[in-house]
Amino acid sequence: MTQAMFNSMLLALFGTALGVITTWFWKSRDEAVRKATVIAGEHEAALKRISDLEKKQGIVDAQLVPFNGLMQAMLIKELTHAHTPEMDALMVKLGPPNILTPAEERRLTVMLQERYARPDPSVSEQERDAAFILPAVIRRARSEAQVLQDAEDIRVKLVSIAAVVAVPDRTRGGEPQ
């Protein structure tokens, strides 16, 4: 083999290796750009979804909390009578805000159960139903108030991830810069 032939084969091998390396580099860069674009799109979609969920949560909070307070107020109105001062005083403490102690709440529950269970012609069927329902409404209103209080303590932190995105240069035939 002559030196010229050896040099030609070596240059051909070197050119092929250089071509393979260049192709691999640009292909891997294109894949990185595609991945970064997908991640950026997913990030935007996640931000939009979080924003939508926050709006929906605000609507639910605005509608449910007053509803439970309204239901509790209607039941209290139904159950308030001049001839039951102890029960009336405890129901005033239901609020808002609810300032009943656990002992007072147990006492109120016992008095409501008596009103529901004891046959008394002066107690209407609607009043019996209200006495039966009120303890559950009190528990529901308390748990909702706790959830809302806990939600105020939770802060959502958004973490942004920077991504390098190659923009095709239209002047050089669409190759990424």
Q: For residue 142, how many other CB atoms are within 10 A of its CB?
A: 15
Q: How confident is the model at residue 161 (pLDDT cuts 50, 70, 90)?
A: low
* Element spanning 17, H or E: helix 3-79
% of the chain exceeding 70 in pLDDT = 79
List 169's β-bridge partners, or say none. Answer: 175
Torsion of CA 7, 10, 14, 16, to 10 degrees: 110
List 168's β-bridge partners, or say none. Answer: 176
Tell me: pLDDT of 166 over 60.
Answer: no
- Over residues 11-53, the pLDDT tens digits come to 999 999 999 999 989 888 888 888 888 888 888 888 899 999 9
Tell me which of 54 and 69 has the higher pLDDT. 54
% of the chain exceeding 90 in pLDDT = 16
CA distance 63 to 109: 27
The tokens of 109 are what?
């529950």
Angle, helices 102-117 vs 85-92, to 10°: value is 130
- Over residues 120-159, the pLDDT tens digits come to 888 888 988 999 999 998 888 887 777 767 766 555 444 5
Q: Determine the average pLDDT of the residues in 167-172.
A: 58
Give CA 53 to chain center in angstroms: 6
For the chain, list the strands marked E by DSSP: 168-169, 175-176
Tell me: pLDDT of 94 over 90.
Answer: no
Question: Three-state secondary structure along 24-40?
Answer: HHHHHHHHHHHHHHHHH
- Type of residue numbered 147: V
Tell me: pLDDT of 170 over 70.
Answer: no
CA distance 39 to 162: 10
pTM of the predicted protein model: 0.49
Tell me: pLDDT of 62 over 90.
Answer: no
Tell me which of 3 and 97 has the higher pLDDT. 3
- Type of residue numbered 141: A
Tell me: pLDDT of 54 over 80.
Answer: yes
CB 138 within 8 A of CB 76: no
Residue 13: per-residue pLDDT: 93
CA distance 112 to 174: 79
Residue 107: per-residue pLDDT: 93
CA distance 123 to 156: 50
